[in-house]
Amino acid sequence: RWPSLLKYYSQADSVSWLEEYKARHSAGLEAQRIVASFSKRFFSEHVPCDGFSDIESLGCPSHFFEDELMCILNMEGRKGLTWKYYAKKILYFLRQQNILKNLKEYLQRPTDRQSFLEGAVLIDQYCNPLSDICLKSVQAQVDDIADKVRQVLRTKNPRHPSLASKAEEVLVPEVELQRQVLDAMNCVLYEQLKYKGNELDYYNSLNSYIHQVLIRRTGIPISLSVLYLTIARQLGVRLEPVNFPSHFLLRWCQGKEGSTDIFDYTYIDAFGKGKQLTVKECEYLIGHHVTEEFYGVVTSKEVLQRMVGNLLNLGKRESTDQSYQLLRDSLDLYLAMYPDNVQHLMLQARLYFHLGIWPEKVLDILQHIQALDPSQHGTARYLVQHTLEHIERRKEEVGLEVKLRADEKHKEVCFSVGLIMKHKRYGYNCVIYGWDPTCMMGHEWIRNMNVHSLPHGPHQPFYNVLVEDGSCRYAAQEKLEYISEPREIPHPDIGRYFSEFTGIHYLPNTELEIRYPEDLELTRATVQKIYSSGKQ
């Protein structure tokens, strides 16, 4: 019944299967209860920081609880959208909390026990908590590449010391023997397996995730360097990471071990097919001279910092994701490593403030910033003031307004919640999840959007729509039209408002239907009239 749970048992275990069944069944009921409660509690706002308090102290095994959430997410068909929406949020939270705990434990270990590969996997897991990523699986793929390198090495030098053991205990002493390993690695990685630097799509976040690097066989300098370094160390060649500006490198000692002379090292460009560089060639690579400090070795924590920094920069560039999820995740990771970094704390506070979420957490962050750096008092005070106003407005909000079609002021509203529409000017497909009899935005928005240039200006119905590109927009009635062939709208918030896609329109969930009680009947009548003949 629950095959994904088999991995938690071994054949040697003595298990009371009836008790396990009861525990799993009980966890399933608890998960369903919590998911259902989220829909009722958080329809009108984003799930607050303390919204997950129910699941932080679960009375059942967490892997059973997570398994039920996965069962909900994997439900077939186009039903249960609201349950899937909240199950995903809960699972995201649970897994990220667990990964953060593992990351903090990793950072507390002695540096010689901090595997670069494990650090890369932790970053990957945190940014992709719903994907099935584990260190064991990633390590197995790396081991497979190392085995292929050994096969090549065996044809060149059957007595090579790297062939003696698969463990990292082996350390190849002579430079010439190390060179043979690196040559064999380059042959396997870049000639046989066709790994390469992703020059065409450099700023794709997938390049930073180690499991995607292994799947797609491409990446950026730092992710390919982590892979290259890990394989080399398994084969007895101790390469070291170099935090070179603009282009991460590895270094290979040619002189006395531990030398501080930068000219005693050859530098390796994993992004450039393992090319071996001199100091001067490193400078040619980035086009300018750098001081000796940039050729020094860095710790695993500094490697993770640079990986997370890359994701942070990508998160700032991301223009289509209205939730800024990548930026939020990378900020979490950075602050887990450097919890008192004022610059990133302020960025996190500004981000939550901009998104209008978690005002209480914003206040906590700002208080922490002021304690760390009093010079930030002016900026922090501005944000504190506006955040407190946001909290007060939220307290004053009464229940959601119920919008009835019979109301005289709503007589001009032509479209209804759940209809899939097309924008006449911009061509995007969208689904309506709310409407107003006239434009309810402020004067500044109306001016910026040039609403007065429309034939009916702001004095016409306006619709809240979820757009297929993941954005949420506010569209004038005269700019929307029925779509000839309705199809699902791939928006991350679709389940927040709708429970099912019928193939022609969306069914509002219970909470949305309470607000628009007459729209579902109108939507059904509309689609029957428009699509029953098979053409618009």
* Tens digits of residue pLDDT in 322-334: 678 999 999 999 9
Q: 74: left (phi > 0), else alpha (psi -120 to 50), else beta? A: alpha
Q: Which residues pair with 240 in a beta bridge?
A: 251
Amino acid at 284: Y
**What share of the chain in percent tops pLDDT 90?**
71
Mean pLDDT confidence for 161-186: 85
Give per-residue pLDDT as tens, 516-536.
Answer: 999 999 999 999 988 875 544
- pLDDT tens digits, 15-34: 898 999 999 999 999 999 99
**Residue 51 binned pLDDT confidence (cut-offs 50, 70, 90):** low
pLDDT number for residue 47: 61
CATH topology of domain 408-528: SH3 type barrels. (2.30.30)
Alpha-helical segments (H) within 437-518: 443-448, 494-497, 510-515
Q: How far, in Å, CA of 195 to CA of 273, rounded?
A: 8
Residues 6+ apart with CB under 8 A from 92: 129, 130
Indicate the pTM of the whole model.
0.88
The residue that leads in pLDDT, 284 or 51, is: 284
- What is the Cα–Cα distance from 287 to 290, expressed in whole angstroms? 10
pLDDT over threshold 90, residue 38: no
Q: Are strands 420-423 and 480-482 parallel, antiparallel or unpaired?
A: antiparallel
**Mean pLDDT across the chain, nearest whole number?**
90
Residue bearing tokens 């640079």: 306
The answer, yes or no, to whether residue 396 has pLDDT greater than 80, is: no
> What are the φ/ψ torsions at residue 152 (nearest 5 degrees)?
-65, -40
Q: What is the pLDDT of residue 139?
A: 96
Q: pLDDT value at position 378? A: 87
Is residue 270 within 8 A of residue 221, CB to CB? The reply is yes
Query: What is the model's pLDDT at position 58?
Result: 73
Summarize the confidence of residues 245-260 as an average pLDDT. Answer: 91
Phi and psi angles of residue 307, each rounded to the nearest 5 degrees, phi first: -60, -45
Q: Find the helix packing angle between 342-355 and 325-337, rounded to 10°.
A: 150
* Interatomic CA distance for residues 233 and 338, integer angstroms: 28
What gap in Å lies between CA 30 and CA 36, rounded to an integer? 10
Q: pLDDT for 116-130, tens place per residue?
A: 999 999 999 999 999
> Looking at residue 427, what is its pLDDT?
93
- pLDDT value of residue 207: 97
> Is 515's pLDDT higher than 90?
yes
Q: How far apart are CA 274 and CA 303, in angstroms?
A: 19
For the chain, what are the domain ranges? 5-9+17-108, 135-304, 339-399, 408-528
> Among residues 351, 358, 307, which one has the least CA distance to residue 328?
351
Tokens standing for residue 30: 């608890």
Q: Say if residue 406's pLDDT is above 90.
A: no
Strand 472-476, strand 429-436: pairing: unpaired
334 closest CA partner among 324, 325, 344: 344
Question: In the numeric block, which tokens belong to residue 131?
Answer: 């994907």
pLDDT at 195 over 60: yes
- Per mean pLDDT, which range of 254-258, 432-436, 462-466 is the poorest? 254-258
Give ∠ CA 307-312-315 in degrees, rounded to 5.
130
Q: C-alpha distances in angstroms, 248 versus 262, 275, 276, 396?
A: 16, 13, 13, 52
Q: For position 359, what pLDDT does the model report?
A: 86
Specify the higher pLDDT residue, 168 or 513: 513
**pLDDT of 262-318, one tens digit each?**
999 999 999 999 999 999 999 999 999 889 999 999 999 999 999 999 999 999 887
How much is the pLDDT for 534? 52
- pLDDT given for residue 536 in this prediction: 43
- Which of 52-61, 111-120, 134-143, 233-242 is the least confident region? 52-61
Q: How far apart are CA 274 and CA 469, in angstroms?
A: 39
